[in-house]
Amino acid sequence: MKFPRINCNISLVSLLILLSASWTISYPIQEGFLQCLNSNSQPSIPFSAFCSQNDSSFSSLLQSSAQNLRYLEPSKPKPEFIFTPLHESHVQGAVICSRELGIHMIVRSGGHDYEGLSYVSEIETPFIVVDLSKLRSISVDIPDNSAWIQAGATIGEVYYRISEKSNTHGFPAGLYTSLGVGGHITGGAYGGLMRKYGLGADNVIDARIVDVNGRILDRAAMGEDLFWAIRGGGGASFGVILSWKIKLVPVPPIVTVFTVNKTLEQGATKTLYRWQQVADKLDENLFIRVIIHVAPVTDSLRAVITKYNALFLGAADRLLQIIQQSFPELGLTQQDCIETSWIKSMLYMGEHPSDATPEVLLQGKSTFKNHFKAKSDFVKEPIPETALEGLWTRLLQEEIPLMIWNPYGGMMSKISESEIPFPHRQGTLFKIQYVSMWQDGGKNAERHMDWIRELYDYMTPYVSNPRTAYVNYRDLDLGMDKKSNPSFAEANAWGAMYFKDNFKRLVTVKTKVDPDNFFRHAQTIPPVRKTR
């Protein structure tokens, strides 16, 4: 079937007239959605806001912000079309029409969902993707110490816009600057300022959300229960986040960053054991994470590298004093320390090239696109040296393994587990992220998946019990909804690991605001099932 050439600037009304005859049979979902949207949104939505599977740009748009290439394999389900709203009312219309027409709608802000839940639905087809990438305005109010940020903006853009107005204000969120703020903050949002100021979600003071009825609600209109749930309760279960109002935090004009590498021959095992004992107790202005990877030494020999990557809110002289007093085993020197501005420290911690300027943050480009599988844990007691030695052996068995250990303590220990849905607070020493990456597509995926699952099993005795996980490191191994309406008992398999006792309150909120489970995905917060 041949499709007519279409001017992307024509209005939706004209589009409907042009396509009504040719698409009624072939594209009944898109046809019905277009007609409904015309009745429930502001006029003149350009055709360029829609991209169907037949469109030559479909694949590039689908892939544009998707991080996990595992979910872009040809065998994975694809959306019937991608709708890119240009205005808040378009999101309202998308919700109203998807619900009215019985279309499964999933929402993407930054595409960083580890299991591809923002661009793939494996629980039901057909489905559509509502891509919020055009809703990315940022309004910074320095006198009010706040900013309104739309869901499609990246956290790097937010950092840049703050720095345009002030070199002594920041925001405590992610280190990887291409994260879309819509989904990032719904899961918690941690970064180099977390030990000083908590999570991004701890510093949200208002929000705008489209609810299941297509209404736009701010904090006052949605009520405190829903406002509580969306700040750390995971994305896409309660509505569509349009924007957040965030509280800006003070940062000094000069901060210090450093990276120190330790190999096994340089005492990596003992140094890491010591880091576990002190990382959560260090000055709250200091964040030292450990990145563990394997690097080639010769053509036939590889080595485990532990990389201590840090941000300190202050000058190098003070940092060196703190390290000498609390963690001299690291061997930090003046030459390791780089004094810089907070905005440039975000480039450094985000692993941008050393010659990059802050303007690179406006590009919103990801530095991480791979086939990968990830898992997470929280640790409450130091892992013994003998267990670390077993860990090194297992890392050397995998092609591209990665672990990131992020310290807790400081403000993270002062905030109640129930303040927001994110519960991993007092008593947590650090969080572990496990990653296996591969470059041969789907060919040997199962082997890599088996490796990371075996590693996860190996770590069982050394992590929290009961075991817990971070919702922004989504892991479908923990369980998944295969019926689009899981029971509480079924969903508790993953819900309790992500949210501990807060899961029960999340279910109560979900039952109130979305009783028919319109906003759903493979690990949704379920409503309480209706009894007949």
Q: What is the pLDDT of residue 531?
A: 60
Number of H helices, E strands in the chain: 17, 18
259-281 burial, b for 16+ CB within 10 Å, e for fewer? Answer: ebebeeeeebbebbbbbbebbbe
List, for residues 281-293, the tens digit of each pLDDT value: 999 999 999 999 9
Judging by DSSP bridges, how do beta strands 127-131 and 104-108 pair with one another?
Answer: parallel
pLDDT of residue 8: 40
Structure confidence at residue 298 (pLDDT): 87
In the 8-state DSSP scheme, what is residue 213? T
Residue 43 banded pLDDT, cuts 50, 70, 90? low
CA atoms within 13 A on the CB side of 474: 24
pLDDT of 532 above 70: no
Q: What is the pLDDT of residues 279-332, one digit of tens each?
A: 999 999 999 999 999 999 888 899 999 999 999 999 999 999 999 999 999 999
First to last CA, the chain: 47
Count of CB atoms within 10 A of residue 175's CB? 22
Q: What is the mean pLDDT of residues 146-167?
A: 98
Nearest residue to 291 via CA among 278, 275, 315, 280: 275
Structure confidence at residue 25 as a pLDDT band (50, 70, 90): very low
pLDDT, mean of residues 351-361 = 95
Distance between CA atoms of residues 512 and 527, nearest Å: 8
Residue 19 has pLDDT above 50, yes or no: no
384, pLDDT greater than 80: yes
Say how many CA atoms lie within 13 Å of 45 toward its Cβ.
28
- CA–CA dist 192, 190 (Å, integer): 7
Polymer length of the chain: 532
Contact 248, 171 (CB under 8 A): yes
The CA dihedral of 392, 397, 402, 408, to the nearest 10 degrees, is: -30
In the prediction, which pLDDT does 397 show? 97
What does DSSP assign to residue 363?
G
Q: Measured between alpha carbons, how far is 423 from 441 in angstroms, rounded to an integer?
A: 36
Task: Name which of 109-123, 185-199, 503-517 the model is least confident about.
Answer: 109-123
Q: Between vectors from CA 13 to CA 12 and to CA 17, what angle results, nearest 5°?
A: 110
Instruction: Work out the number of other CB atoms within 10 angstroms of the CB of residue 507.
Output: 21
Q: Identify residue 443 by its one-letter amino acid code.
A: K
More confident: 506 or 366: 506
**pLDDT-based confidence at 46, cuts 50/70/90?**
confident
Strand order, beta sheet including 146-150: 138-141, 146-150, 240-247, 204-210, 216-217
pLDDT band, very low/low/confident/very high, at 44 (cuts 50, 70, 90): low
Handedness of CA 519, 415, 310, 274 (dihedral sign): negative
Task: Pick the closest to residue 131 from 74, 72, 62 (CA basis).
Answer: 62
- pLDDT tens-place string over residues 454-470: 999 999 999 999 999 99
Q: Which of 90, 80, 83 is nearest to 125 (CA)?
A: 80
| Percent above pLDDT 70 for the chain | 94
Contacts of 57 (CB under 8 A, 6+ apart): 51
What are 67-85's pLDDT values in tens digits?
A: 999 999 999 999 999 999 9
Q: How far apart are CA 181 and CA 458, in angstroms?
A: 34
Going by pLDDT thresholds of 50, 70 and 90, the confidence category of residue 263 is very high
| pLDDT attached to residue 28 | 78
What is the per-residue pLDDT for 415?
A: 98
Kindly tell me if the per-residue pLDDT of 333 is higher than 80.
yes
Mean pLDDT of the 344-355 span: 95
Instruction: Look at the pTM and tell me if it is higher than 0.85.
Output: yes
**What is the band of 41 on the pLDDT scale with cuts at 50, 70, 90?**
confident
pLDDT tens string 417-436: 999 999 999 999 999 999 99
Q: Is the pLDDT of residue 244 over 90?
A: yes
> Strands 146-150 and 240-247, how do they pair?
antiparallel
In the chain, what percentage of residues exceed pLDDT 90? 83
In the chain, the amino acid numbered 413 is S
Mean pLDDT (the chain, rounded): 92
Q: What is the mean pLDDT of residues 186-203?
A: 98
pLDDT at 15 over 60: no
